């Protein structure tokens, strides 16, 4: 479905992606794991058409990606941006309908009926949104806003959903609820490319993963391969049964990674970093990104 071949990208003179190759097939949930500044958001912005690769190619169903963001959305590729970015003044319902804008615009009565059906499906998926359907999105908690941002994206009926750190700043329990929905999307006909720092949680719900550091893909494989590779675990996924309380063993249920994040969160004061930070706790080139400073502490 989606294929990146040797994609490179620079901001001005600073090269941030180096010959990145990555694919997402139909029916797959694939995660891209890496720390702050690794190039994850930049990669998604290339797939969304917000920027163009300096070299390499991006293919959708074997053909070049449409040139403009609107064309890419129309082709079924929709991104949920980092930091949710819902329309805070608009109601939950209006936000969701916004996601179906293209269809409402040209769909006539049948289009409107289909959008009404889809809205009901979103409320099934995220019942809490139904309870708040008339409220301004700005009143929602961070977790609810993340659900709304996902619901809004799904209202466009994507075939491929791009998720940029949906767990960022959320309490482990909320992350687990969101990850359960992400896990189920492929069976609903929507493939997923999930960008995360919460490596264990992401690997628990994705069938494959890529690890990116400093703009280069260092490893790719099945989630089981990544989880069972001692060196990778040590380098990227944090200490095995480490001091920080992360339970790494015995993944026997799809959401157990997210749940293990919950364990660590609970034992370390439920900071948002507990879910994401601990998962990359053993990484060598961990660095703080000042842009992220404001986005952390948000308990939901
Ligand atoms: N608009 C920008 N202008 C210049 N450099 C940027 C810009 N956005 C990101 N970068 C830099 O590009 C690199 C990759 O950033 P990003 O893709 O946001 O990483 P991630 O999403 O993995 O945290 C970082 O070094 C970051 O500082
Ligand atoms: Mg990012």
For atom 11 of ligand 1, which residue has the closest CA? 37
pTM: 0.81
**Ligand 2 centre from 37 Cα, in Å?**
7
Position 159 in a domain: yes
Q: How many domains would you assign to the chain? A: 1
Q: Tell me whether residue 300 is in a domain.
A: no
Residue 298 above 60 pLDDT? no
Average pLDDT over all residues of the chain: 81
CATH of the domain at 233: 3.40.50.300
179: in domain: yes
Domain, as residue range, for 65: 2-295
What's the CA-to-centroid distance between 195 and ligand 2, angstroms? Answer: 8
Give nearest CA residue, ligand 1 atom 2.
11
Of 104-108, 110-114, 197-201, the one with minimum mean pLDDT is: 104-108
Residue 276 confidence (pLDDT) above 70: no
Q: CA distances (Å), 234 to each of 84, 119, 245, 265, 278, in order?
A: 31, 43, 15, 20, 12
Q: Give pLDDT, residue 237.
A: 64
- Split at pLDDT 50, 70, 90, the class of 238 is low
pLDDT at 248 over 60: no
pLDDT of residue 86: 93
Sign of CA dihedral 82, 87, 92, 93: negative
Q: pLDDT band for position 144 (50/70/90)?
A: very high
Any domain includes 153 = yes
Q: Which residue's CA is the closest to the ligand 1 atom numbered 1?
A: 11
Q: Tell me, using a 6 A CB cutoff, whether residue 238 lines ligand 1.
A: no
Establish if 121 belongs to a structural domain.
yes
The reply to whether 16 falls in a domain is yes
Compare 274 and 298 and report the one with higher pLDDT: 298
Q: Produce one character per residue of 20-34: b if its CB has 16 or more CB atoms within 10 Å, e if not.
A: bebbbeeebbbbbbb
Q: Which atom of ligand 1 is nearest to the CA of 11?
A: 4
Rounded Cα distance, 39 and 172, in Å = 24
């Amino acid at each position: 479905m989606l294929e990146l071949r040797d994609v490179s990208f620079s901001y001005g003179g600073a090269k941030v992606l180096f010959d990145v190759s990555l694919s997402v097939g139909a029916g797959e949930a694939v995660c891209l794991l890496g720390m702050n500044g690794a190039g994850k958001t930049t990669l998604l912005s290339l797939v969304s058409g917000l920027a163009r690769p300096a070299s390499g190619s991006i293919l959708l169903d074997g053909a070049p990606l449409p040139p403009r963001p609107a064309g890419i959305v129309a082709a079924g590729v929709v991104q949920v941006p980092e930091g949710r970015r819902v329309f805070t003044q608009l109601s939950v319902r209006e936000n969701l309908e916004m996601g179906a804008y293209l269809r409402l615009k040209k769909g006539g009565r049948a289009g409107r009926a289909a959008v009404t059906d889809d809205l009901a499906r979103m409320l099934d998926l995220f019942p809490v949104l139904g309870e708040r359907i008339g409220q301004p999105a700005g009143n929602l908690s961070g977790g609810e806003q993340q659900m709304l941002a996902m619901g809004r994206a799904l209202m466009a009926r994507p075939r491929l959903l791009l998720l940029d750190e949906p767990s960022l700043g959320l309490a482990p329990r909320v992350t687990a609820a969101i990850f359960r929905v992400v896990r189920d999307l492929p069976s609903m006909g929507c493939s997923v490319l999930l960008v995360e720092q919460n490596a264990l949680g992401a690997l628990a719900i994705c069938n494959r993963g890529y690890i990116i550091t400093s703009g280069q893909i260092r490893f790719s494989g099945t989630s089981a391969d990544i989880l069972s590779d001692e060196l990778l675990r040590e380098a990227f996924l944090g200490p095995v049964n480490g001091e920080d309380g992360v339970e790494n063993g015995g993944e026997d249920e799809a959401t157990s990674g997210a749940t293990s994040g919950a364990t660590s969160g609970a034992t370390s004061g439920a900071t948002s970093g507990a879910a994401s930070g601990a998962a990359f706790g053993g990484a060598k080139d961990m660095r703080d990104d000042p842009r992220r400073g404001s986005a952390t502490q948000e308990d939901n």
